[in-house]
Amino acid sequence: MTDKKIVARKLQGFWELPPEKQVIFEAMLDKIKEVFQKHCFLPLDTPAMELAEVLLAKSGGDIDKEIYRFTKGSTDACLRYDLTVPLARYVAMNENTLSFPFKRYQIGKVYRGERPQKGRLREFYQCDADIIGDGELSLVNDAECVKLYKDIFQNLNLPVQTEISNRKVLFGLVSGLGAGEQFSNIAICLDKLDKIGEENVKESLQQLNLNESQIAKLISLVKLNGNSSVLQQAEKLSSNQTFLQGLNELKQIDEYLQAFGLSESDYKFNFSVIRGHNYYTGTVFEAYLAGNRGAGAVGGGGRYDDLAGYFTQRKLPGVGMSIGMSRLFDIIQQSADEKIEFCKCAVIPMGETINQCLHLVSLLQQKGISAEVYGENKSFKSKLKEANKRGVPFVAIIGENEVKEGKITLKDMASSSQQSVTKEELINLLR
């Protein structure tokens, strides 16, 4: 047998946080889940691995190259690359027992075999909330998805503004200009406006053989953003029926958002919001931290007509929102306190008092106070040093004298002050 040790290392691009950061991440998750549950969304946890024929049904292009695929015996399986396809599979399998509209949220890890870089890992968390209808789905649900951003980020003490558009508006304008067959390419060009600037977008559109008049109208549309007045301004650009239908849907959503109590600072209309995914068919939106749009979107989503078309004949339209967990966590951890309180009170035995210490720890935990005993055979000084290193605010000391007197010595680690207290006094002080 060799004494050579294996070098401890992990796969590049896979998620792993130290405990002090995991605590911040878990607290963030709890606040997000709290809002989903107030909106009556049900939790769903689908398997990390799906059959290849299921997961690849709606993939294609570059995403196929990024999928982790495995064969075990006769089973061909893949790690999920998003949470949408597993949702579609779940709804199709359970369509006869689900109650519609079906509202679910899911926060889980997904996997993509791409080159790791800042903000893009091979394993990362997605956070989705979707509302699925049976045959039809009211625009009230689109408005609720926008409201979710306000409520979630308010719960996280972060100001957010959601920018809203509708794919029908752009598609209707493009069709009215006689370039409907070029819609996908035109949408890709216009979606880059923020990244490459107006002049470069115009050049890209010229390469698609669009004339100056067509380009001018397209640029005029995507430069419109602001409150509901921009919807009236947009009406002048086209009389195409699909175009007008999209504008009317935005007007309805505006009405619903006002009824929900949202103000102009919570959302605006921005026709440059296009969303690159082709499955969006109506409302689309992106969320940005208020006053910090340059940092990039912290969420996005929209409406799709047919969630589970690959798996069932039943028409199941939906609308969904997602939150960029990696970007959001980066923002939150930067503003979090450096020392996170894992433990409220460390209990240290002096002499043969370990049983009394264990009893006290159990009592504190029953009262909802985080506590642990330092039972190792180390010096008292080293135990205090360890408590300080861990950021424990209080230390309870039990020696032979404390046992005789029925008291506990409580040390405040911040001030180094000590006092003798009863168990009841200790509990009240720690609370």
Determine the pLDDT at residue 392: 94
pLDDT of 69 over the 90 cut: yes
Q: Is the pLDDT of residue 60 over 60?
A: no
The answer on pLDDT for 71 being more than 70 is yes
The percent of residues in the chain predicted with pLDDT above 90, rounded, is 73
Burial-class residue 217 by CB neighbours within 10 Å (0-12, 13-18, 19+).
Answer: middle
Is residue 66 over pLDDT 70?
yes
Please tell me the distance from the alpha carbon of residue 431 to that of residue 426, in angstroms, as a whole number: 9
What are the residues whose beta carbons fall under 8 Å from the beta carbon of 150, sequence distance 6 or more? 160, 162, 262, 266, 267
What local confidence, expressed as pLDDT, does residue 268 receive? 96
Share the mean pLDDT of the chain.
91
Q: Is the pLDDT of residue 181 over 90?
A: no
Indicate the range of 91-100, 188-197, 395-404 predicted with least confidence: 188-197
Give the residue among 169, 173, 189 at the shortest CA–CA distance from 276: 189
HSE-up of residue 364 (Cα within 13 Å, Cβ side) = 29
Mean per-residue pLDDT, 349-365:
96
Q: At a CB cut-off of 8 Å and minimum separation 6, what does 359 contact? A: none
- Helices 212-222 + 167-176 axis angle, to 10: 160
Residue 60 or residue 320, greater confidence: 320
Secondary structure (DSSP) of 265-315: TTEEEETT---S-TT--SEEEEEEETT-GGG--SEEEEEES-TTTTT-SS-
Q: Which pLDDT band, with edges at 50, 70 and 90, does 243 fall under?
A: very high
Question: Is 299 in contact with 321 (CB distance < 8 Å)?
Answer: yes
**Which residues in 58-145 belong to E strands, given as ranges?**
69-72, 75-79, 102-111, 123-132
Phi, psi (rounded to 5 degrees) for 128: -125, 145
> From the CB of residue 36, how many other CB atoms can be counted at a distance below 10 Å?
21
- Distance from C-alpha of 178 to C-alpha of 99, rounded to nearest angstrom: 42
Q: Which helix (H) or strand (E) is 317 found in, with range?
A: none
Cβ neighbours around 260 below 10 Å, total: 15
Query: What mean pLDDT is predicted for residues 159-179?
Result: 94
Domains in the chain, CATH or no CATH each: 19-46+83-335 (3.30.930.10), 345-430 (3.40.50.800)
Rounded to an integer, the average pLDDT of 295-312 is 90
Mean pLDDT to the nearest integer, 392-397:
96
pLDDT of residue 279: 78
Report residue 59's pLDDT band, with 50, 70 and 90 as the boundaries: low
Would you place residue 37 in the very low, low, confident or very high pLDDT band (cuts 50, 70, 90)? very high
Lowest mean pLDDT among 203-217, 328-342, 351-365: 328-342
Is residue 307 left, alpha or beta, with left meaning phi > 0 and alpha meaning psi from -120 to 50? alpha
Q: Are the CB atoms for 373 and 357 separated by under 8 Å?
A: yes
Burial class (CB in 10 A: 0-12, 13-18, 19+), 423: middle
The pLDDT tens digits for 248-294 are: 999 999 999 999 999 989 999 999 998 866 778 999 999 999 888 87
* Alpha helix positions (H), 15-115: 19-38, 52-55, 62-66, 84-93
Q: Which pLDDT does position 337 carry in this prediction? A: 57
Other beta carbons within 10 Å of 354: 13
Residues 360, 75: Cα–Cα separation, whole Å: 53
Mean pLDDT over 327-351 rounds to 84
pTM of the predicted protein model: 0.88
Q: Looking at residues 74-78, what average pLDDT do you find?
A: 95
What's the chain's Rg over C-alpha atoms? 28
Taking residues 78-95, what's their average pLDDT?
94
Helix axes 423-430, 354-366, angle to 10 degrees: 50
Return the higher-pLDDT residue of 353 and 179: 353
Q: Is the Cβ–Cβ distance between 317 and 132 less than 8 Å?
A: yes
Q: Give pLDDT, residue 331.
A: 87
> Which ranges in 39-61 belong to alpha helices (H)?
52-55
What CA–CA distance (Å, rounded) separates 315 from 287?
A: 28
- Check if the beta carbon of residue 347 is closer than 8 Å to that of residue 396: yes
One-letter amino acid for residue 21 of the chain: K
Q: Give the pLDDT band (50/70/90) at residue 329.
A: very high
Dihedral sign of CA atoms 197, 194, 210, 208 in order? positive
- Tokens 């390419």 sit on residue: 185
Average pLDDT over residues 403-419: 95
Classify the C-alpha dihedral 291-295-299-300 as positive or negative. Answer: positive
- pLDDT tens sequence across 94-135: 999 999 999 999 999 999 988 877 767 899 999 999 999 999
**Four-residue CA torsion sign, 30, 32, 37, 41:** negative
Whole-angstrom distance, CA of residue 3 vs CA of residue 141: 62
